[in-house]
Chains A and B, each alone.
Chain A
Amino acid sequence: MNFLPYVVAAWLFVVGLYGIITSRHLIHLIVCLAVVQSSTYVLLLSIGYRTGAGAPIFANVPPGTPAVDPVVQALALTDIVVGATVTALLLALAVQVHKRRGTLDPNRLRSMRG
């Protein structure tokens, strides 16, 4: 069993979170969130991976040809769609913030405390 993809997935998750925590710019923060999300793509695809198997397309191949798991690929695809939606929405919010305040530094944008 090859652990490398799982290590990569864990690394992406952690490094993305680190980026979000230390971010000084909302756009940078949103990209870090996308990095965290890409960890889930790597994880899903590596779960369905089989050594030596082809893509799960069953046209023109004899029955019984090994293929990687199509379910996780469908999940990853859905995940990407979700990610695009969330990222677009957050970027739109960031654009509006910049219009009102002229800054994207989260430290200067706190308005709610306590």
Chain B
Amino acid sequence: MSINALPPLPVVLPLSVAALLIATAPRLPRRVIDLLAIATALAVAILCALLLVRSLDGPIVYWFGGWLPRDGIALGISFVIDPFGAGLALLASVLVVASLIFTWHYFDEVGVLFPVLTLTFLGAMAGFSLTGDLFNLFVFFELMSVAAFALTGYKIEEEEALMGAFNFGVTNSIGAFLVLTGIGLLYGRTGALNLAQMGRTLASAPADGLVIGALVLISTGFAVKAALVPFHFWLADAHAVAPTPVCVLFSGVMVELGLYAVLRVYWTVFAGVLAAHEDRLRPLLLAAGSLTVLVGGVMCFAQAHLKRLLAFSTISHMGVFLMGTACLTADGLAGTGLYVLAHGLVKGGLFLAAGILLNRFESVDENVLRGRGKLLPAVGVLFTLGALGLSGLPPFGTWTGKALIEDAAADLGFHGVSVILFLSSALTGGAVLRVCGAVFLGWGHKENEEGKTPKYQEKETKKKYTRTPLVMIVPVGVLFLLALLAGLWPTLKSETVRAAARFENPQGYADGVLEGSAETLLAVGPKQPPPSGFLSSVTATAGAVVLALTALFVRRLPQSLRRNAWRVGHPALAVLRTLHSGYVGDYVVWIIVGVAMLGGLCAWRFG
């Protein structure tokens, strides 16, 4: 089989196997189902890796049913595969493999539904990353969402899981409707659904209200999935209650795909027509990213529930990713790409490690677990490694990504960005390190006033293992190892910058898709990593360590200092906590506020 027939397989294969499994489930023993699912995910990973390597030289364009475009008009549906899309699909499949292996001993009655839903989820994510058609993007978005809602509410015997899934479902559906409305408006204007053709048609006339309106609707719709403030509320609720192996996929890749969709659509459809407005767009996006970083980081540090803590850390990192892409340069995007890759691996590993704790102690509350982790030194070491990776300690891949983003922003004169990045790394890394100190070393004091924290999410396994099974520890280690590799791989950075330059070249994309011509590759000079990136990353990790130690040994600080800090910090934190009300109506209000704000700002900046 030639490589030309490969592009649909990452979608077709998991969906077919999922259908096959559910049809034959009653006759298959559980281990066969598990093995088949893992083998499928592995096969998808290999396929995506092949496509990734192949797409380095130019985009792979695949037209379903042979409906090729004629005279620049595309009626057919295409997959357009570039290194970013293939890379995200690869990340998704690697995380699916890790979480399926992890579930080997995890659930008691895992049934067939878990692997089937996970494979469906994988197929949807792969299609979402590879498609070159806007409506196709919407359909895969919905398929991905529905599988994700079902996986969140997998433990239907827990009402918290049900409510988390419900809030997730309602908010993300509204996001999808916003996207669809935007798609409708764009179709009305361009008469096309192919991204390349839409971009070309739009670029032939100056931007007007309809174009801006469509941009706002599509971006905010996908921003709900990307959990950018103020669209982020569903994420923490869903992560706190979803089974831990599912959180790996949510935090590691699904949320990032929301941002990917915004970027893909922006750079293929809107970049041409909005090219003159780039300077006005940047501060807007950087501000939104900073807000997301700060809200996510502060809320992350304020959590005692480990999964919720990791969820808020994801929000904080989404802010960083937005800031990287907000530079609208190849370096910024490449930095984000590398950071997403390394963050997905590290965060996936951390969630799995949290799953080990949950399995062993039936709780993920820091105060409940304090000191009990001394029984699991290996997990403690892994957890600490993950925390350091999260804070961007070289040579983890998180470091290269962050350094690139910092550089890209500084090139444009936004030097404040490095402060925000520092805060993100220090707050999220510090929070996880604090948990490490508390759980595995027993440092710090039990806080009695926090004893009333809700006790959602307990127990995913009936049988308690006296020894942590190897299939649980190995995936964690492998994910961290891959994250290290991402930082050490010599050519990864230059290739990513090259791919990013192609990603941000709407002209080349359209030529490649509609004319089948080889993309005009922009010359990108390879840049040496500046030593400042190394230094600032180490500083951020040091900041994380200091924050964690301060939080753990807060009682040793002078009383007056503590009282003043409490007086300043507590009311602000209380307001922030109240906003996360757990009530879906409030979340929808915030979505409307966000749409109105972005719409107003765009009207003001571009008007």
Contact = CB atoms under 8 A, between A and B. Distances in A.
A21 B588 contact: yes
B64 interface: no
Size bracket of the A interface: 35 or more
B13 interface: no
B29 interface: no
Contacts of A93: 149, 153, 156, 162, 165-166, 169
B445 interface: no
Given A33-B173, A93-B153, A106 B454 contact: no
Interface in B113-163: 135, 139, 142, 145-146, 149-150, 153, 156-157, 159-160, 162-163
A114 B187 contact: no
A33 B494 CA distance: 46
Interface string A86-114: 10011001101100110000110111111
Determine the main DSSP class of B at the interface with A: helix
B177 A21 contact: no
A99 B59 CA distance: 51
B584 A106 contact: yes
A100 B160 CA distance: 10
A97 B166 contact: yes
Interface in A61-79: 71-72, 75, 78-79
Contacts of A22: 585
Interface string B446-488: 0000000010100000000000000000000000000000000
A35 B416 CA distance: 44
A47 B185 CA distance: 8
Contact of A90 (B156, B169, B177, B180): B169
A88 to B, nearest CB: 9
Interface in A35-63: 36-37, 39-40, 43-44, 47
Given A21-B589, A90-B169, A114-B302, A96 B156 contact: yes
A21 B581 CA distance: 13
Interface residues of B, number: 49
B162 A20 contact: no
Contacts of B538: none
B56 interface: no
Contacts of B577: 113-114
B184 A40 contact: yes
Interface in B380-421: none
B181 A78 contact: no
B170 A17 contact: no
B304 to A, nearest CB: 10
Contacts of A111: 159-160, 163, 454, 456, 582
A47 B236 CA distance: 38
Contacts, number: 130
A29 B584 contact: yes
B139 A78 contact: yes
A79 B187 CA distance: 15
A79 B180 contact: yes
Contacts of B240: 112
Nearest to A90: B169
A84 B135 CA distance: 18
Nearest to B183: A75
B300 interface: no
B237 interface: yes
Interface in B165-212: 165-166, 169-170, 173-174, 176-177, 180-181, 183-185, 187-188, 193
A94 B188 CA distance: 37
B164 interface: yes
Contact of A37 (B164, B165, B177, B236): B177
Contacts of B180: 40, 44, 79
Interface string B428-457: 000000000000000000000000001010
Interface string B549-588: 0000000000000000000000000000110111111001
Contact of A97 (B163, B174, B236): B163
Nearest to A47: B188
B194 to A, nearest CB: 11
Nearest to A38: B177
Nearest to B152: A93
Given A82-B139, A93-B153, A112 B159 contact: no
Contacts of B578: 113-114
B272 to A, nearest CB: 22
B446 to A, nearest CB: 19
21 contacts: A13-B177, A17-B174, A21-B588, A33-B173, A37-B177, A39-B181, A40-B181, A44-B184, A71-B187, A71-B193, A75-B135, A89-B146, A90-B149, A93-B156, A93-B162, A96-B159, A97-B159, A100-B162, A112-B241, A113-B581, A113-B582
